[in-house]
Amino acid sequence: MHRHAVVTGAAEGIGRALIETFGAHQYALTGVDVNVARAAQTQAELSAHGLAVRFIHADLGEPDDLTRLIAALIDGPPIDVLVNNAGISCVGAFAHSDLTRQQRVLDVNLRAPLHLTTALLHAGKIARGGTLVFISSLSHYASYPGAAVYAASKDALASYGRSLAVALAPEEIHVLVVYPGPTRTAHARRYSPDNRREAQRMAPEALAASIHRAVERRQPRLIPGWGNRATALLGQWLPTPVEWVMKRTLFAKLLQE
């Protein structure tokens, strides 16, 4: 029987790369996405390459959709890998930002993974020996001026995952927290104030391969790429200079838009 992987935000970017990677390793696949048309296109494209993916349409920022998603997953097969990948952002000076949009960032990035994970654990749907993956952010180490609520949501998700790992260890459920840096996706392009060096960002396929290896090795933490690991180390030991660089490269440019 094939192992079963569930990936949120699966129709493009990192999520799609994860679906392709786990599918290549003989997992049964369930994708979750808010965009019906994009999910249908992705499903058709993957099917043409021999990958069968079941997509569930859900807006993780909407409580009714989240409840419906949880019910659908509980009715489905046991889950060997659950990847909480879906995320959105809201950039700009916080004092002048739309608080409704900021609340939605918290709903999608934090509330939904917590509710989804908790409900599936309570229902016993995470297989013994399975893995919970939480996609946090390199901002955990380097800060993210201009996207403070996004950074806060990813910090909280990381803390939740690390704490959950301790509680679930007796049940042999593995928890992996991932701290990706800039990735070559539409999401990064959408929120970045400067895409001139987009080609230097990590390819989502490379990130997905690293995540799969970390799942197989049962690593508790993954900072993919030597450049990201160097940034994380500097952020821990020299936070002030790193935050100054982030202010110059991100926040100042966001204010100019």
CATH at residue 148: 3.40.50.720
Q: Is the pLDDT of residue 199 over 70?
A: yes
Share above pLDDT 90 across residues of the chain, in percent, rounded to a whole number: 69
User: Of the spans 3-17, 95-109, 134-148, 172-186, which averages the highest pLDDT?
Assistant: 3-17
What number is the average pLDDT over the span 74-90? Answer: 94
- Which residues are annotated as catalytic? 150
Q: Could you tell me which of 91, 256, 198, 96 has the C-alpha nearest to residue 248?
A: 256
How many domains, in total, are found in the chain? 1
The radius of gyration computed from the CA coordinates of the chain, to the nearest angstrom, equals 18
Residue ranges making up the domain that contains 32 = 4-256
C-alpha distances in Å from residue 101, one per residue of 34, 61, 136:
16, 11, 19
